[in-house]
Structure 1
Amino acid sequence: MKKSSRFIAILGLTSLIILAGCQAKTATKKQTRTIADSMDHKVSVPTHPKRVIGSYLEDYLISLDIKPVVQWSVKNGTSRQDYLAKYLKNVPTINYDLPFEAVAKAKPDLILVGDNSAVQGGKYAQYNKLAPTYVVKNGAKVKWRTQLKDVAKAVNKEDKGQAVLKDYDQKLASAKKTIQTKAPNKSAAVLWVTNNSAFMVNDHAASGALLYQDLGLKEPELVKTISKNATADWMPVSLEKLTELDADYIFLVNSDRGAAMFKEPIWQNVKAVKNKQLYSYDKSSSWMYKGPIAYEEMIQSVLKVVK
């Protein structure tokens, strides 16, 4: 081959490589969508995110077939959502306050934040420099269904989100029918015991919302009283006050198996305890949380009790 022909061939090949590279970059740029988050940030999110951080939103992400690159934790990973462990094998933990260094190390292509307070004080701009940052709808009046739909919107899986809700509603309807048949007018309460102190879930949060609003179990008067002025999902309740708890069933999240309060006569005389209708779960259970996976696990626990 003549030198001039060889040169032209090489030049042509080089041009094709450069053109392909430009086209790839252009395609990459086009593979984003601009959407508004709950704080009205206009966010250019990946059309198909691959490395998502969604601290305390993992239940939603997993249900949408997305495995996050890190998982929420407290106290350097000693406390986390253990009921999700089978879905998050080998996924490292990240502290709940999302340290910037840890976020950067995870190399996310999308950061989902579940609370407005987490991005205040200039934090949003700092996170947004690391990756597109989307603040999911949140607040005391925002239901888990709304959050699931918003997460689905952010990761471009709205159809999957609707399918998850449809499947959940079918299971819920079946469970509710079983409860109405086998345990009509039965009441229930959820307690959490830690450090020899008791806390009661309020009626519009976490497992409380599931029991009373979704499943239609009767709400004890003590739960109503505590829920009226609730400032958190779980409110402290004294051992003496528990004597008023007339629940037919108690679902206990027991983080303190050796708690002295369990040996007290007052505790032994609580209606459900005395009637052997106390059902205890360890910290690996889903009773402390919310989301389609957590709620489906709780529904199965309730059905085992009322069968």
Structure 2
Amino acid sequence: MTSGLVGRRGVLKAAAGASAGLAFAACSSGGSADAGGVSAPGFPVEVKGVEGTATIPRPPRRVVSVGQYRDADAAVALGVVPLITPDLGKFLPGGRSPWLTAEAGAHPPELFADAQLPFERIAALKPDLILGTDRPTLAQDYKTLSAIAPTVSSADGYNKDTWQVTTRRAGTALGRSPEADRLVADVEAQIKAAKAANPAFAGRTFTIGPVTGDGTITTISSVTDASAVFFAQLGLVLSPKVTSLPQTSIPGRSQISPERLDLIDADVLVLTYTTPGSRAQTEAQPLFQHLPAVRRGSYLALDLTTAIALAFPSALSVPYGLREVVPQLSGALKA
């Protein structure tokens, strides 16, 4: 996987050099020179979305991300570090994902509390582009944001765009469409390489889901869920025992009662725990201990950070997920 990441960085650096006339600079907390009235080939560009069309007159240099995960990921993957992005400290240590931190360099985005958008702070930064494709409440904030700067919303609705779509739309907005295409192709090649290197994954069943702080077990029951798609792209199959279960209020999720833990048994069983206590509670249950997957060592307790990488896929988080998950899967399926 490492060689794939090195290749991606090399591709982007070469592409950036070839398009030096556009003078894109990665935005840090200090920002870069204002684009002023300078025009560039290919601009203005329009990016249509569910909340409206963002018309971007010139290559953006001062970018703000208001989406939770994938907006900043897409921009950073394309070499543009947003000025600010939401603080994800309630999910991720330090408020930023490790995959974004690794790519953002010495000047990662500054953070803002995610409960309510800091409109005055955003306006004071004088952004020339706002990325909001990954914000669930964008509809109520779009008018205010778009009055500050062109604001890109999702193509099909919150959490409905694939990471490929998000990456390419960010590439259009940033004037980096060729780089976006190459980036998508590179990450897809990493997925295919991981699948080819692990033929034993083909056709093996899996279940995956979160366990809440009170010990409630939820399993993903839809093959279109992002985490299920991640495993399916490696050749695995979501267990038929869960795909027909009634869903909770969260689409694609089904609750498992303590008496029916047999439903989550599969060739590989993956659970993520929101608290250490919920893990201890689950693993202490006799019915859980007697699941065939648990008894033979085909059970993975996936850390929350990696689970987020799979659940909110991006051009940065997917390679991270491959590095973290594939070796664990290989060991579990050999058990």
TM score, norm. by length of structure 1: 0.78
- Equivalent positions of 1:72-151 (< 5 A) are 72-73=86-87, 77-80=89-92, 82-83=97-98, 84-88=100-104, 90-94=108-112, 95=114, 97-114=116-133, 118-121=137-140, 123-139=141-157, 141-151=160-170
| Aligned amino acid, residue 291 of structure 1 | S
- Indicate the SS of the match to 2:235: coil
- Indicate the SS of the match to 1:253: strand
Q: Distance in 1 between matches of 2:75 and 2:61?
A: 12
Structure 2: gaps spanning 5 or more residues: 1-33
Q: Distance in 2 between matches of 1:146 and 1:128?
A: 21
| Residue-pair matches, total | 279
Q: Is the 8 A contact 2:64 2:84 kept in 1?
A: yes
- Indicate the SS of the match to 2:310: coil
Q: Distance in 1 between matches of 2:251 and 2:237?
A: 21
Q: Does 1:206 align with 2:221?
A: no
Change (3 A) 1:99 1:296: same
TM score, norm. by length of structure 2: 0.72
Change (3 A) 1:169 1:243: same
1:170 Cα deviation from its structure 2 partner: 1.6
For each residue in 1:34-92, what CA deviation from the matched residue of structure 2 results, as whole angstroms up to 9, or x when unmatched?
41421373433153212222323222222212212222335xx4334533333456532
Q: Distance in 2 between matches of 1:85 and 1:141?
A: 25
Change (3 A) 1:162 1:230: farther
Q: Distance in 1 between matches of 2:115 and 2:229?
A: 24
Change (3 A) 1:229 1:198: closer
Change (3 A) 1:144 1:233: farther
- Equivalent positions of 1:7-46 (< 5 A) are 28=37, 30=39, 33-39=44-50, 41-46=52-57
Q: Does 1:169 align with 2:169?
A: no
Q: Which of these residues, 287, 294, 298, is aligned with residue 273 of structure 1?
A: 294
Percent of pairs identical after alignment?
20
1:129 Cα deviation from its structure 2 partner: 1.9
Larger gyration radius, structure 1 or structure 2 = 1
Q: Is the 8 A contact 2:48 2:155 kept in 1?
A: yes
Structure 1: gaps spanning 5 or more residues: 1-24
- Equivalent positions of 1:290-301 (< 5 A) are 290-301=313-324
Q: Could you say what the CA RMSD is over the residues aligned between the two structures, in angstroms?
A: 3.0
Q: Tell me which residue corresponds to 2:81.
A: 67
Q: Distance in 1 between matches of 2:110 and 2:201?
A: 42
Q: Distance in 2 between matches of 1:64 and 1:242?
A: 43
- Equivalent positions of 1:221-260 (< 5 A) are 221-226=240-245, 231-232=250-251, 234-259=253-278, 260=281
| Aligned amino acid, residue 205 of structure 1 | D
| Aligned amino acid, residue 123 of structure 2 | A
Q: Distance in 2 between matches of 1:28 and 1:294?
A: 36
| Aligned amino acid, residue 297 of structure 1 | Y
1:225 Cα deviation from its structure 2 partner: 2.0
